Amino acid sequence: MVHGSLPHLATMWHIDLTIRDDTWPATRPAWRCAAPAAVRMAPMKAFSFITPAVAEYLVGHTTPPDQVLKELAEETLTATGDDSGMQISPEQGTFLTMITQICGARNAVEVGTFTGYSSICIARGLPEDGRLTCFDVSDEWTSIARKYWEKARVADRVELRLGPAAETLREFPLRPEIDLAFIDADKPGYPVYYEAVMSRLAPGGVILVDNTLRRGTVADYTDGDAAAMREFNDLVYGDPRVTSTLLPIADGLTFIRKH
């Protein structure tokens, strides 16, 4: 376990933390990681809707990323700028690896790969003969992922399929063989991706869906931008085929298990 003040943790993890107020009402300041020149990390997204004290405690009690993931976060921020916010948070990466291991997954799928942080975390949780199939539309961003799959020594268990996931997922065998899936792509497409994966998910298989709290705005019914996510959350909640829970990890992570 790691203890200490938030500045101490920021120094240890090579993270600077600054307050920003453009993503939350002024009475509820949000925390964001601002990257120093040495190693710049993705934002700690949970800081948008939990208190700074709880955020500090969360960071201080989560296994931090290794050097490969830190370097990937740095390159992602440099290469993609504002789009780097699409990268998962470090604490979420630790969770993905652990869940993959706990589930004993051998055949995993990822919808939305970006620059590869989450795929590395999932692949590291698979056995040596496990398989992760990644679906994404960007050859540019996934070229970074391919480089870091090699650095992380997981390239031998990862396959990338480029193209719109709504189409490329249909090419995946229509058999219940997927043990674990992670969905983190365009939000309006979530229902399509969810159903495509569910029809191929093994009994007892797990689906993890990212950004399901949308910086806390799902609870604000006057926020039209969050409407698509609320509809998806209602879809999962009402699905008799599954048991689900919505976890306040990063920007919200829904954990779904098929009966």
CATH code of the domain containing 196: 3.40.50.150
Location of structure tokens 């500090």: 56
Percent of the chain with pLDDT over 90: 73
The verdict on residue 61 lying in a domain is no
Give the C-alpha separation, 174 to 195, whole Å: 12
Q: Is residue 5 domain-shared with residue 113, that is, in the same domain?
A: no
Q: Is residue 158 domain-shared with residue 98, that is, in the same domain?
A: yes
The verdict on residue 177 lying in a domain is yes
Q: Is residue 117 domain-shared with residue 3, that is, in the same domain?
A: no
The verdict on residue 55 lying in a domain is no
The verdict on residue 56 lying in a domain is no
> What's residue 51's pLDDT?
82
> What's residue 223's pLDDT?
84
Residue 4 pLDDT level (bands cut at 50, 70, 90): very low
> What's residue 58's pLDDT?
86
The verdict on residue 54 lying in a domain is no
pLDDT at 21 over 80: no
Residue 250 pLDDT level (bands cut at 50, 70, 90): confident
Q: Is residue 92 domain-shared with residue 135, that is, in the same domain?
A: yes
Q: Is residue 15 domain-shared with residue 79, that is, in the same domain?
A: no
Q: What is the mean pLDDT of residues 41-70?
A: 80
Q: Is residue 101 domain-shared with residue 72, that is, in the same domain?
A: yes
Give the C-alpha separation, 84 to 76, whole Å: 6
Q: Is residue 9 domain-shared with residue 88, that is, in the same domain?
A: no
The partner residues of 254 in beta bridges, in order of sequence, read: 209, 246
Range of the domain at 226: 66-258
Neighbours of 33 (CB within 10 A): 24
Close Cβ partners of 167 (under 8 Å, ≥ 6 residues apart): none
> What's residue 45's pLDDT?
64
DSSP annotation string for the chain: ---S-HHHHHHHTT-EEEEE-SSS-TTS-EEEEE--SS------GGGGTS-HHHHHHHHHTSPPP-HHHHHHHHHHHHHHGGGGGGSPPHHHHHHHHHHHHHHT-SEEEEE--TTSHHHHHHHHHS-TT-EEEEEES-HHHHHHHHHHHHHTT-GGGEEEEES-HHHHGGGS-SSS-EEEEEE-S-GGGHHHHHHHHHTTEEEEEEEEEE-SSGGGGGG-TT-GGGHHHHHHHHHHHT-TTEEEEEE-STT-EEEEEE-
The partner residues of 32 in beta bridges, in order of sequence, read: 18
Q: Is residue 36 domain-shared with residue 157, that is, in the same domain?
A: no
pLDDT at 25 over 60: no
The domain total for the chain is 2
Q: What is the pLDDT of residues 148-196, one digit of tens each?
A: 999 999 999 999 999 999 999 999 999 999 999 999 999 999 999 999 9
Which tokens belong to 115? 């620059």
Which residue type, as a one-letter code, is found at position 10?
A: A
Q: Which range has the worst mean pLDDT, 104-108, 216-220, 252-256?
A: 216-220
Q: Is residue 84 domain-shared with residue 195, that is, in the same domain?
A: yes
The verdict on residue 105 lying in a domain is yes
Close Cβ partners of 141 (under 8 Å, ≥ 6 residues apart): 79, 80, 113, 114, 115
Rounded to 5 degrees, φ, ψ at 142 are -75, -15
Angle 254-158-44 from CA coordinates, rounded to 5°: 40
Average pLDDT over the chain reads 85
The verdict on residue 53 lying in a domain is no
The verdict on residue 58 lying in a domain is no
Q: Is residue 102 domain-shared with residue 217, that is, in the same domain?
A: yes
Q: Is residue 184 domain-shared with residue 238, that is, in the same domain?
A: yes
Q: Is residue 145 domain-shared with residue 226, that is, in the same domain?
A: yes
> What's residue 26's pLDDT?
32
